[in-house]
A and B are shown apart, each in its own frame.
Chain A
Amino acid sequence: MRQVLLRGLVPAGAVLAVAVLLSLVLGAGEVGPARALPVLAGGGDADARFAVLDLRLPRTVVAVAVGIALGVAGAVLQTAARNPLAEPGLLGVSAGASFAVVLVIASGASAATLGPWAAVLGAGAGCALALGAARLRGTGDDPVRLVLAGAALSGLLGAATSVVLLLDQRTADEVRFWTVGSVAGRDVATLGQVGPVLAAGLLVAVLASRPLSALALGDTVAVGLGHRPARSRAAAMTAVALLVGGAVAAAGPIAFVGLVVPFVARALVGPDLRRVLAVALVLGPAVVLLADVASRLLVRPYEMPLGVVTALIGAPVLVAVVRSNRLPAL
């Protein structure tokens, strides 16, 4: 435990603290650090107070929640699929959630009153497809092929989503801001809706972490240790569906966070899922926050979709994981 603290949680926690501070004092607008810092001390002028407390603070809170969800979901999915490349965004889980939301809105629901459940169901379906594919003969023993299949599924669902949006102007207007993945302009009310879902997902993930760790040794060993592989996988799927569905409902599809966070966490504290989860809890929000800060600064005075920044960070990590000859290491 001391190892986990020293090697994983302390550096991750430090990065997270810095990221939160940066997220509050930096932005695409006029209010720079010089005007934002007094606000944090309780002073500051009206404009700065508005920028920091009403715009950046909610955004920061949402980014933290989304980061926790995506980091933990990635760790759980990678262990359940026994594949270091399994990532909710790459495997079509996020795409399934987006497609479900767009379908529900196209059939007449309103984006404003739509809860997270459509996204959770869509993520569950995407996750079932991905893990089902992982169990197929030939795909399961080739971690790389699973990723390709996931990418193909993501592409297909994304294209289907685009078709719906092109054919239905109202849906397009309602979800335009959301399909690209961003935490800009989210308020705490969003979190009120999504929070319980994310909390439930976290609880399931923590409860399932022991049996899932046993699965890493192979089904036979896991059964010998008294676990039930089918049940463990179902629990993993539930956790991933709740976490990714909630995250997508809050911020749209954001890829690669679920790949990068467990990858770094494993490098810090080893492959044990419980340790990786503990680090991911802290590292996930740090990564999303840093990406969000970058998305505000890269194209000033405009902002970029957060998903683009995470892809820029994540794609090199994907290549690095594939190039490392330790595949499959889980």
Chain B
Amino acid sequence: MTATAHPALPAPAPGTAPAPPGTWRPALLGRSLLLDRRAVLAAGVLGALVLLAVAVSLSVGTIPLPLADTLPAVLGDGEPRDVLLVQQLRLPRVAAGLAVGAALGVSGVLLQTLARNRLATPDTIGLNDGATAFAVASVVAVSTTVTPSAFALVGSATAAALALGLAGGAGRQGHRFLVVGLGVGAALGALTQLMLARADIDSANRAFPWTIGSLNSRSGTSVAVLAVGLAVALPVAVVLGRQLRLLRLADAVVIGLGSRVGRVRLAVIATAVVTAGLAVAVAGPLGLVALLAPEIARRAAGPRGVPVVGSALAGALVVLLADLLGRTVAAPLELPAGLVTAVVGGPYLLWLLLTTRTRRIP
């Protein structure tokens, strides 16, 4: 699906039509693909920053390791102790952070663009709370052999259905939809607390990550599930992002252009639900990442497109940096990444709410 395809005009053969200014038109599989040059450059810069954050995350910790020793240790060279530290302890944590951040970034940019509202993210409309509640139910009530991921998916889907159903759709009611989401989130959050109160004292420690997001107690299974989910969801989201650009136009125009509005909306919500739910299953309800990441990506890539890849990269960057800050700022004490994102992102969210008169995404 290319953004330039039009039933009446055959797409120009690759390399024949001049690309519009500010874009590239490389050939891909015999079709031409229109790329926004600035968006590609922005994604490149964000990607480089992510790599830098990964390197620093691998070397910094209670046992510091020089960067020069860290990278070989990833590949298994160097002191056995260093290799163990990097491969067994830090690498899984960094991988989890990357995946969680990318998933939340994608979820955020899709929901924001769909609702045409920067505040519509999985944490503000209750998706994270729903995923948390169901994941906790799987840990507390059901046997723990069942991966919380499946439950978290059901939970985020339930919350999305509740919020959208009660508000009568996204974006039609402006901010009303968000307050409905707030209510849904509060109720589901209270249910989570209720289940945690029922749980025996031993599981209180197990339960902590479910009260605030952190990369501390991720399980290998849920990270693997999230990785698989992302491998599917990210390409889907890129395609949907191109469709969403069209949805900014009036519905009649969009239908005239041959886009099936209802289907696209449903696919967008489903993708956002899956990414948010799987991310919560790994790291708990990490707040504000889904709000900040698309914002960073939009600032970098310019207002023209829907920066799906950029948001994924920016989300990974935000989570890695939050985790890094939490581990280092008060060492040896550790602040969960979710607290760092809340304290850093909170003022920005407030500013967003109090200053801009209309926060429609262009």
Contacts and interface: CB of A to CB of B under 8 A. Distances in A.
Interface of A: 85, 133, 136-139, 142, 144-145, 147-149, 151-153, 155-156, 158-160, 162-163, 166-167, 255-256, 298-299, 302-305, 308-309, 311-312, 314-316, 318-319, 322-323, 327
Contact of A152 (B166, B189, B349): B349
Interface in B180-200: 180, 182-184, 186-187, 189-191, 193-194, 197-198
A149 B339 contact: no
B205 to A, nearest CB: 14
Chain B's interface size range is 35 or more
B335 interface: yes
B346 A148 contact: no
B347 interface: yes
A159 B198 contact: no
- Which 10 A-B pairs have CB atoms at the shortest separation, nearest pair first? A156-B346, A159-B342, A315-B187, A311-B190, A318-B183, A319-B183, A144-B175, A149-B353, A315-B186, A308-B193
A308 B178 contact: no
A167 B183 contact: no
Contacts of B296: none
A319 B166 contact: yes
A308 B186 CA distance: 9
B349 A316 contact: no
Contacts of A309: 190
Interface in B305-362: 330, 333, 335, 339, 342-343, 346-347, 349-350, 353-354, 356-357
A156 B179 contact: no
B342 A155 contact: yes
B127 interface: no
Contacts of A255: 186
A315 to B, nearest CB: 4
Given A149-B353, A167-B333, A311-B189, A155 B183 contact: no
Given A159-B343, A159-B346, A322 B354 contact: no
B346 A315 contact: no
B176 interface: yes
Residue picked from B175, B179, B330, most chain A C-beta under 10 Å: B179
A166 B346 contact: no
B175 A312 contact: no
B194 A319 contact: no
13 contacts: A142-B175, A147-B179, A148-B178, A152-B349, A153-B350, A155-B287, A156-B343, A159-B343, A163-B343, A299-B197, A311-B186, A314-B186, A318-B186
Nearest to A92: B350
A96 to B, nearest CB: 13
Given A139-B354, A166-B335, A148 B190 contact: no
A312 B182 contact: no
Contact of A149 (B174, B212, B354): B354
A159 B339 contact: yes
Nearest to B359: A145
B184 A315 contact: yes
A148 B119 contact: yes
Contact of A315 (B176, B190, B343, B356): B190
Given A155-B346, A312-B187, A144 B194 contact: no
Contacts of B212: 162
B339 A319 contact: no
Contacts of A138: 356-357
Contacts of B179: 85, 144, 147-148, 318-319, 322
A323 B180 contact: yes
Given A299-B197, A318-B179, A322-B183, 14 more contacts: A148-B124, A148-B353, A153-B350, A156-B350, A166-B330, A166-B335, A255-B186, A304-B193, A311-B186, A312-B190, A314-B186, A316-B183, A319-B180, A322-B167
Residue picked from B197, B339, B347, most chain A C-beta under 10 Å: B197
Contacts of B354: 133, 136, 139, 149
A315 B357 CA distance: 27
B194 A151 contact: no
A218 B349 CA distance: 30
A129 to B, nearest CB: 9
B53 to A, nearest CB: 22
Contacts of B167: 322-323
Contacts of A299: 194, 197-198
A299 B175 CA distance: 36
Nearest to B123: A155
Nearest to B334: A166
A215 B124 CA distance: 32
A83 to B, nearest CB: 11
Contacts of B347: 156
A237 B281 CA distance: 42
Contacts of A163: 335, 339, 343
A169 B191 CA distance: 28
Contacts of A137: 357
Contact of A166 (B191, B197, B198, B333): B333
B108 to A, nearest CB: 16
Contacts of B193: 304-305, 308
A166 B339 contact: yes
A144 B197 contact: no
B352 to A, nearest CB: 8
Contacts of A327: 176
A153 B212 CA distance: 17
B362 to A, nearest CB: 19
Contacts of A85: 179
Contact of A162 (B184, B186, B339): B339
